[in-house]
Structure formats: C-alpha cells, structure tokens
Amino acid sequence: MTQDAWARLESLARAPGASAIRPLFVADPERARRFAFTADGIRLDIAKTSIGPEAMEALLALAKARDVAGQRRAMAEGAHINATEDRAVLHMALRAPRGSFRDGAEDASATVHDTLDAMAAFTKRIHAEGRFTDVLNIGIGGSDLGPLMAVRALHKPDSPMRAHFLSNADGHAWDALRQQLDPARTLVLVASKTFTTAETMSNAHLVRDWLRNALGEAGDAQLVALSTNLQATAAFGVPAGQVFGFRDWVGGRFSLWSAVGLVIALSCGWEVFAQLLAGARAMDEHFLTAPDERNLPLLLALTEVWHVNGLGLPTRAVLPYDERLSRFAAHLQQVEMESLGKRVTLDGAPVARATGPVVFGEPGTNAQHSFMQLLHQGTTPVPADIVLIARPDHSFAAAHRLLLANGLAQAEALLRGRDAEEVRAEMLAAGKSEAQVEALLPHRLFPGDRPSTTILLETLTPFTLGQLVALYENKVFCLGALWGVNAFDQWGVELGKQLASVILPELSGGTPKQHDGSTAALIAELGRLWPEGARG
C-alpha cells in the first residue's frame, strides 16, 4: 500500500507541467481560498506551490498509507518511537497540562510540572531580589539556538534582565562578551544535560574562573545548572537548589520548553515563558485532533515531500519578515537537519528516496540583498517559507508596510517571473535600442513558477511564537513518519566529537595517533605555527 502511494505521487510529479504553478490559478479562481488553512489565528498558505487537487489527494493518501496518525498516537501515548535509543519522545509533555503524558510507569507531566514550579519560584525570587541585571546562558546546539531565538523574538526594553549567550568554544567569543558584563550583577546558567559537553564545559570553566577572580568562592552562588548530572554539578560548585533537570525523552533541539528555557523566563519574565508554552500547547492540540486535510503541521510536511521527493528540490529557504525572528532560521536548521538528515530507515535499511533538505535563511529584506538572486534566477528552484507578521509592536507604520510589501512581492515575483515580452516592452519604454534589448534580454528574464509557502501571524507574541515553533516541530515528526526514519536521534554528531577528543592531546604535544595523511600534516603544521611553548 505504501509503495503504491509513493508510486502514484511520483508519477504525478513526473507528469509534464507538474512544477507549474501559474496555470493552477487560471484553472481554479478559488485556489487562493482552497489552499489556505488556519488554526487558532495562524494562517498557512500553500497556494503558491504546484500542488493541485490531484497531488493533494495523493499526498493525503500517502499520509494514510504511512499511518502518520497511528505513529502520532503512539508518540503521544509514550511509546518508545526513538527506537535506536529506546526512548519515548515527549517534548509535547513540556507544554501540556498535568496528567497528559506518561512514559511507562512515569507520570511525565508531573515531572514536567514539578520542574516548571521550581523554575517559576526561582525566576520570581531572582526578579524580586533585583540583584542581577544580566543572565548569561552557556550552552550549545539545542541549549543555545532555541532559547536565543526566543529571547531575540520576545525581549523588550522593559524586560526584567538582559540576556547573553555563549556557545562557541572559541575564546574570542568570551573575550568579547565579558567586556559587557559586571560579575557581581550577572547570573550564569550552564546548560548541559550530562554536564560533560566539551564546548559548554570549556566555556563554563572560563566563566566560573571569571566569577571567582572577581568575587571569590561567593561567585559560585551565581551559578545555575540545567542538567541531570547532580554529582557533576555539585563538583563544579553549583548550589544544590540551583539545578534544574530534564528527562531523556526531551531531545536537545526540542528543549527550549524545558529547564533549558530558564534564560527565556529570567530575561523576559515568567508570564512570557508561560504564554510561550501555551501557544505551543495550542498547536499540539490542533496537531493531535485536526483532520489530515486541515492539519497544519501535516500539510506543511506534505508540501515538503512534494518538493523534495516529487520535484527533486534539495534545499529550502526560511525568510521571516520580522527582525525579531532573526534567529528563527538558525533554530530550524537544527530542528530539521539534525532530525531528518538520515540515510537509513527505522529498521536500518537504506532509505529509498531523499530525506531532509538543506535549510537556510535570514530575515527577508536582508536575504533580498544577498541570496535571493539565486532563488529568482538560479538553475534549481529553491522553495521558500515566508513568515509575515500583520501588525508590529512599534509605531513606524510606513516601515512595516514596506516590510510587508517586500515579503508579498518576493512571493509574487517567484510565482509570476518575467517573460521576454514584458522585459522587451519595459526596456523599449526606457529608451533602449533594439540591439541593447536583444543583448540584455536573456539576463533580465525570470522563469517564475518558483514555489513559496506563506505563514501569516496577526502579531508576534509569546503565544504566537509558541504556535509557530511547535508547528515546525510537529512538521518534523510528520516527515520522519512519512520517510520512515528516526527523527529523534542524532548519531551523526558523535563521530566528530570522538575524533576531536583524540586530536586534542596531540595539539598539546601528545603522542601522534594514526590519521589520514592530510589530517596528520595539518596537525604537524599547527605545531610549527603555534609551538607548545607559545601556548597559554
């Protein structure tokens, strides 16, 4: 049944004109309405893709053949769908009411709410004391990208504390950041589930030494750990009451809703964090209950399947037209590429077709002046997700109208393109000669029929940001189910870490190990350029 569903979909995608979008609007004057979907105020418009009624029917049939609904139910019931690590996948429990989720005998929701209660009490105490003006979050990957994205989106001038993030193990990052901070006024969060992440702990030692040099042993009172390794956090000097944990059924890239989100609560306020959770919970409830044909995360995933597997498009651009979402694309890079960059199925067999595409992006107007040239005239179409916020928080109405006009225009330009007749008329009207027109004409043609998806929010609030992020998280689940891969492990990040632990002592004069010729030569050259005696 699954093979038949894939075969039907791929046959439709190979048909002549399958990538054309403009004819679909001609054939169906109601297309803009039929291919726009809403849930709790968030609007998903996929009309500017080449998915027509027959393709949509085939995509929905594929979702049924792959039993996405059954796999979704298994996840919500606490089944260990992360089979390679024998774990449940319960990031939805992080924003759910008490009594909603279990992992076998464990009441996952109770565990979550115990942590949330402790986080709320700690946050309110810190704010009431008024001692700290800044909070520094030390983490990497999911312990940095998600919280940083959310703080950038939600922090306001009157928010309780300024937030700073240290992820890169490059000492230049800390060297620049420490100039902005007063050790007596800075609360430090160290986010590492195991408290062994090499980059995070390297930075944590630098910052702890900075605190101790300025404040003595009393500086340890300003350390907070987001970890489950109580022995390691105690040895590091973190006070016992300042450790907040999260369970192994929370993957790092899905963890901003957990204790990892403490920096959001401290910098933006507890009510902001609570509303962020509420928005994600609203999207989860929609995802768990809405029928397939109106289910936003599933429809977003099916659109990606059409582009990746049907049309063979291996990349996607994410273009939020709002400066507050400047790190949204970076967060999605990890959520999607770490989850879906898989080459074997759940049973270990090679995948039969392409899986996760490359995701990249920037705020929309910045992208227009950097890489949008490739989207409009490059050789391979790049689908784009365009995120628009209808109403701004600022009072500069003209600036926001310009922003929205640009977002709408980019999507329209990708769709309609510009043909020879239009270009010729424009150039002749501008006074160009026939010879000039013919010479320049090929350079000024736009093929059009390039797909984009638009997501529209009325405002950007903690609630709507929660909806938006959960929309993409649940999309990732759907794609894992459709492709038959485990979207919740990340073995691909391990090999480089292991090899780095071998190379590190060699850079301090240790006995060389066996490497490929290039790596061995580079280690030797680094030893020449930065001899051991010159290192601090």
DSSP state of 85: T
Catalytic residue flag (residue 338)? yes
Residue 396 CA to residue 401 CA, distance in Å, equals 9
Q: Which of 124, 156, 205, 497 is catalytic?
A: 497
Assign residue 11 a region (left: φ > 0; alpha: ψ between -120 and 50; beta: otherwise): alpha
Report whether 59 contacts 66 (CB < 8 A).
no
Tokens of 407: 């977002």
Q: Which of 30, 172, 217, 369 is catalytic?
A: 369
Tokens of 62: 């594929």
User: 184 Cβ partners below 8 Å, 6+ apart?
Assistant: 214, 215
**Nearest-CA neighbor of 271 among 119, 111, 470, 113?**
119
Helix (H/G/I), strand (E/B), else coil: 332: helix
Q: Which of 338, 362, 473, 506 is catalytic?
A: 338
**Cβ-based burial of 397 (10 A; exposed 0-12, middle 13-18, buried ≥19):** exposed
Residue 400 CA to residue 398 CA, distance in Å, equals 5
C-alpha separations of 337 from 81, 91, 274 in Å: 19, 18, 28
Tokens of 310: 């049907």
**Nearest-CA neighbor of 270 among 123, 129, 150?**
123
DSSP state of 221: G
**Which stretches of 178-261 are DSSP H helices?**
198-215, 230-236
Catalytic residue flag (residue 155)? no
C-alpha separations of 276 from 250, 265, 272, 333 in Å: 17, 10, 6, 20
Question: Beta strands of 93-161 (E only): which ranges?
Answer: 134-138
Sequence letter at residue 28: D
Question: How would DSSP label each residue in 155-222?
Answer: --TTSSSEEEEE----HHHHHHHGGG--GGGEEEEEE-SSS--HHHHHHHHHHHHHHHHHHGGGGGGG
Helix (H/G/I), strand (E/B), else coil: 478: helix
Q: Which residue, chain included where needed, has tokens 């089979």?
A: 83
Positions marked catalytic: 338, 369, 497
